[in-house]
Amino acid sequence: GERLLDVGTGPTIYQLISASRVLPHIVCSDIHQGALEEVRKWKNGDAGAFDWSSAMQHVSGLEGTGWEERQDQLRRAIKDTVFCDVHNENPLHPAVFRPFDTIISTYCLEGACFNKGRSTYKKAVKNVCSLLKPDGYIILLSYIGVTYYLKDGKKDPDNLRLDTDFVLKNLSEAGITVL
């Protein structure tokens, strides 16, 4: 496949550097318009955009590729930036896309479901997985075993208490075959 959806992109692109080598059509999504604006500024080469060249150089060095070429490749690959709310049945509403070949989500679901309970996480996983085509791939980076977050210097308990079995069970129940 050629199409990748990044769920919860944030104002970052580092998680997409390697993916753009094999997935030339990338859609970035986030609930925060300010984060998407940062991605658009970087994509367009705006003077005030965050400088991701050190991340590009690092990844390109590991891959044995030229960093400026990889940067241009990623800029070309990012086709759209759209609103996303994982709590909606169609997280990309009002946008409509055909199912994606690959979905990546980097620590997004935990943040979106923080202090909302495990049933909310389960629904969010199902909603996100509904955007994936049959036999597609989902790459999910999650916090496992976290019991609290620091907020304003104070411990804020995490009621999700994600563990590997729970995450894998929810992926399976959403129709994902775990490799």
Does pLDDT of 99 surpass 90? yes
**Contact (Cβ atoms closer than 8 angstroms) between residue 31 and residue 112:** yes
Reported as a pLDDT band with limits 50, 70 and 90, residue 115 is: confident
The CATH number assigned to the domain holding 68 equals 3.40.50.150
Write out the H or E segment, with its range, that includes residue 3. Answer: strand 3-7
Reported as a pLDDT band with limits 50, 70 and 90, residue 157 is: confident
Residue 56 belongs to domain spanning? 3-173
Which residues lie below 8 Å from residue 126, measured CB to CB, with a gap of 6+? 170, 173, 174
Q: State whether the Cα torsion 167-169-172-174 is positive or negative.
A: negative
Domain membership flag for residue 179: no
Does pLDDT of 158 surpass 80? no
Return d(Cα 38, Cα 23) in angstroms, integer.
Answer: 21
Return d(Cα 141, Cα 30) in angstroms, integer.
Answer: 16
pLDDT, residue 150, reads 84
What letter would DSSP give residue 11?
A: T
Q: Tens of pLDDT along 119-151? A: 999 999 999 999 999 999 999 999 898 888 888
Domain membership flag for residue 178: no
* Report field, pTM of the whole predicted structure over 0.85: yes
Please tell me the total count of domains within the chain.
Answer: 1
pLDDT, residue 36, reads 98
Q: Tens of pLDDT along 40-95? A: 999 999 999 999 999 999 999 999 999 999 999 999 999 999 999 999 999 999 99
Residue with tokens 């935990």: 110
Reported as a pLDDT band with limits 50, 70 and 90, residue 166 is: very high
Angle between helices 53-63 and 67-77 (to 10 degrees): 110
